[in-house]
Amino acid sequence: MNYPLESICKQVVQLVRETGAFTHGESAKFNLSDIEYKGVNDLVSYVDKETEKKLVEGLKKILPQAGFITEEGTVRDTSEHKLKWVIDPLDGTTNFLHRVMPYSISVALMEEETLLVGVVYEMNLDECFYAWLSGGAWCNGKPIRVSNITSLNQSLVVTGFPYSLLNRENDFFEIIKHLVRETHGVRRMGSAAVDLCYVACGRFEAYFEFNLKIWDIAAGILIVQEAGGKVTDFSGGNDYLHGKELLASANVHSSMLDVIKKYWQ
């Protein structure tokens, strides 16, 4: 079935901006005593939950026939839906709780395993990144493209520290040590969705992380791909949406894979 993806995307952009105004406004009122713990260093607040509810309500109006995959469980996934919204209501919750930027809302639309729409709104800089399949990638109405840098030693790389290192910390930090020596530097921003968008618009040449969830990355993956970038798992394969390993880059992808494969056994 064909869908009016550009129209759907722009409706999602409007919804995410409106919802983001609430989310960002709550940052000044938030108290650390409002934090709940889902796991070690895995934090959640009433802001995440309320943001998710607002997004679900709005997305149901845009595509009533679609199901949901939501981080905070506002709606439980129902497998009979070919179309699904994938929602991270507050990517970068720890940043938000400590009033540190960036943090974002991330919304993607999938048909089975195909990403159709991706929207990421970083509220602090009022930057809304979005893409629809075969429609290019955009930020605040302007087209974006990945970096044209081809050398790793001229690249700036971004990563994230997962809540659980799964006993892979030695491998992971060996990769970081190598990249610190061989690139312009390694950054850790705290929002996977924003990391992907910054690759898409050329601010970073590459992003890699492991132990990710689909709601962290679905929207950003499409935005990177539509901006001309490449996304794989750590072996260079296609198991990145559910496989928990992700490398997104532009013209340094093979060099990044060489570094990762050297240490990631």
Q: Residues 123-131: what's their mean pLDDT?
A: 98
Q: Tell whether the torsion through CA atoms of 218, 164, 202 and 178 is positive or negative.
A: negative
Collapsed DSSP state (helix, strand, coil) of residue 244: coil
| C-alpha to C-alpha distance for 131 and 116, rounded to whole angstroms | 8
Task: Say what the pTM is.
Answer: 0.94
Task: Provide the 8-state DSSP code for 98.
Answer: T
| C-alpha to C-alpha distance for 146 and 113, rounded to whole angstroms | 24
Q: Are 193 and 235 contained in the same domain?
A: yes
Instruction: Determine phi and psi for 203, rounding to 5 degrees.
Output: -75, -35
Q: Are 172 and 44 contained in the same domain?
A: no
| C-alpha to C-alpha distance for 222 and 127, rounded to whole angstroms | 17
Give the residue numbers spanning the domain of 99. Answer: 5-143
* pLDDT tens readout for residues 207-254: 999 999 999 999 999 999 999 999 999 999 999 999 889 999 999 999
* pLDDT tens readout for residues 78-98: 567 899 999 999 999 889 888
Q: Are 112 and 238 contained in the same domain?
A: no
pLDDT in the model for residue 103: 97
Among the three residues 104, 126, 143, which one is the final residue of a domain in this structure?
143
Measured in residues, the chain has a length of: 265
* pLDDT tens readout for residues 20-34: 999 999 887 766 665
Q: Are 167 and 121 contained in the same domain?
A: no
Q: Are 17 and 126 contained in the same domain?
A: yes
* pLDDT tens readout for residues 163-208: 777 778 899 999 999 999 999 999 999 999 999 999 999 999 999 9
Among the three residues 90, 113, 143, which one is the final residue of a domain in this structure?
143
Instruction: Determine phi and psi for 187, rounding to 5 degrees.
Output: -115, 155
What is the tally of structural domains in the chain?
2
CATH classification of the domain holding 53 = 3.30.540.10
Q: Are 17 and 123 contained in the same domain?
A: yes
